[in-house]
Structure 1
Amino acid sequence: MSPLPATIPAIVRTRLRAAVRRPVRRTAGPGAYEEAEARTLLLRLCSLLLQYPDSELSSARPELEAGVAALPASPAAAHLTAVTTWMAGQEPDGLERHYVEMFDLRRRSSLYLTYYLHGDTRRRGMALLALNQRYRAMGWDINGGELPDHLPVVLEFAALAGPRGGEAPLRQHRRGLELIHRALTDADSPYRHVLAALLTLLPPPTEADRAAVAQLVAEGPPDEEVGLDPYGAYGDGEFAPPGAFVPPAPAPPTRVPPAPTSHLEGPR
């Protein structure tokens, strides 16, 4: 596997265009359109659709729409069709504002997966290191671009490395993905369709998964080192994104003592 360049979007878009140009035969029997190929294309589309919608991504909209159209009919394909249809009707500025609001200003829909499992603790740093080592073992080097737990990066790794080792980080962070999906659904964001499509690739959640997500919603991520406030403490059901400035609690009101009576004051 060749190393990744400094900009992850460039290689993702190049690989997507190559995948779309590959002829897709739908009428030659069950083996004509390989399940693995469809899965890879779906992962790459999810990776692209969850990246910041800059001008480069906007210019790749025809490839995105062609990629979605190349997917076999499935609930996941229907979800991605809903997203690309919505994007096509948005002004660039509005799409960028919506992305920032959903993924940069809301911690429960942040795209940095290790945060949900480890919070801002030393364990998160260890998890990031382990993930980066996994990439390098497969020939990847993200060259100081995005953090290795950024969901679009994790998705492209899954597409390139295959369902076993490549999708292991997605399975490991399934509960975080569930929380992101729930947060986007609560916000009525069309980006919820991308998470819904992705979740169709993972095993169904267990009762333990559901309980853990409920606890994450109620309490937030682990906080033994930085003391994050519980989930929802920053207004509108949000906790601030990793590294964001969090204003301190307001100081108690100052009590001004009454002025003493002057000895020069005359009789009343």
Structure 2
Amino acid sequence: MRNRLKLRPANRVQPWHTYAWQIQSLLLGYPDEDLAGHLSLARRTAPALPAGVGEPLLRFVEHAEDAGTQAMAAAYVATFDLRKRCCPYLTYYAHGDTRKRGLALVRLKQAYARAGWRLGEDELPDHLAVVLEFAAADPAAGMRLLTDHRAGLELLHLALRDDQAPWADLLSSVSATLPALAGDEREAVARLAAEGPPEEQVGLDPYAPPQYTPAPSAGGPR
């Protein structure tokens, strides 16, 4: 299964993508009373996925089952709400809290609308869990969105790994669903890591209410 993943043509969606992205989306949400069911689903599905996707997924499942819902919820808040560098909103890495991020959010909403997909009023379109949920529903369009935001996704992966957060395994699983990083993508990740997002703090309204911007909180859907 490892070889099959390595030989997969770039940007070609496989039948297993839908299942992987749906499970990853569920597990990247706030840990609540549904967590046990999501973990059970992931444990049953992971063995059928390519090893690079399924193995880190199982590592996360094992950690979460050992820790329990309450501990995972506390860790989620500490990781995503209190650490700006672990922001799950993908457009933030390229645009920060600037006008350009507002436009990027609009483009994401338009992409969802073209596929007949509507967000709830309390959801931003660039939260990784939302992007993955959309990808599971529309794999071809979802693959394009994930690859378009690959630099931000990989920067979040690095931040979670540096913090030794259990969600780093989920990001490893997500990355393994995508084509191998090309040279320019590696450079984009390195540049974002070195420079950080732009500092301008205006231009998001009316696209991003203050409670959803990364400072002071960067938590996900609950």
Q: Is the 8 A contact 2:35 2:69 kept in 1?
A: no
Cα shift readout 1:104-135 (whole Å, capped 9, x = no counterpart): 21122211011011111111001101111111
**Deviation larger for 89-98 or 204-213:** 204-213
Q: Secondary structure at the match of 1:55?
A: coil
The answer to whether the 8 Å contact 1:68/1:77 transfers is yes
The amino acid across from 2:45 in the alignment is G
Given the superposition, is the C-alpha separation of residues 59 and 221 from structure 1 closer, same or farther in structure 2, using an over 3 Å criterion?
same
Shift of 1:212: 2.2
Query: Which residues in structure 2 correspond to 1:67-82 (within 5 Å)?
Result: 67-69=45-47, 71-82=48-59
Distance in 2 of aligned mates of 1:52 and 1:244:
18
Corresponding residue for 1:47?
25
Contact 1:120 1:222 in 2 (8 A): yes
1:184-195 correspondence runs (5 A)? 184-195=160-171
CA distance in 1, matches of 2:189, 2:39: 34
Greater radius of gyration (CA): 1
Corresponding residue for 1:37?
A: 15
In the alignment, structure 2 segments of 5+ residues that lack a partner are 1-12, 203-212, 218-222
Q: Percent identity?
A: 39
- Decide whether aligned partners of structure 1 residues 201 and 73 sit closer, same or farther in structure 2, where only a CA change above 3 A counts: closer
Using the alignment, how far apart are the partners of 2:66 and 2:92 within structure 1?
A: 33
Summarize the Cα distance change of 1:197–1:137 in structure 2 as closer, same or farther, 3 Å threshold.
Answer: same
**So what's the TM-score if we normalise by structure 2?**
0.81
Give the whole-Å Cα distance in 2 for the aligned partners of 1:81 and 1:205: 23
CA distance in 2, matches of 1:115, 1:181: 14
Aligned residues: 195
2: CA distance, partners of 1:120 / 1:226: 5
Q: Establish whether residue 57 from structure 1 lines up as the match of residue 26 from structure 2.
A: no
Contact 1:45–1:68 (Cα < 8 Å) also in 2: no
Distance 1:73 1:127 in 2: 32
Give the drift of 1:88.
0.7
- Shift >4 Å, 4+ stretches: none
Please state if 1:175 is matched with 2:147: no
**Structure 1 pair 72/216, CA: closer, same or farther in 2 (3 Å)?**
closer
Query: Aligned ranges for residues 1-268 of structure 1 at < 5 Å?
Result: 36-69=14-47, 71-162=48-139, 164-223=140-199, 225-226=200-201, 242-244=214-216
What secondary structure sits across from 1:165 in the alignment?
helix
Q: Which protein has the bigger helix share?
A: 2
User: How well do the aligned residues superpose, as a CA RMSD in angstroms?
Assistant: 1.9
> Take 1:146 and 1:167, find their aligned partners in 2: how far apart are those partners?
20
Q: Offset at 1:73?
A: 4.6
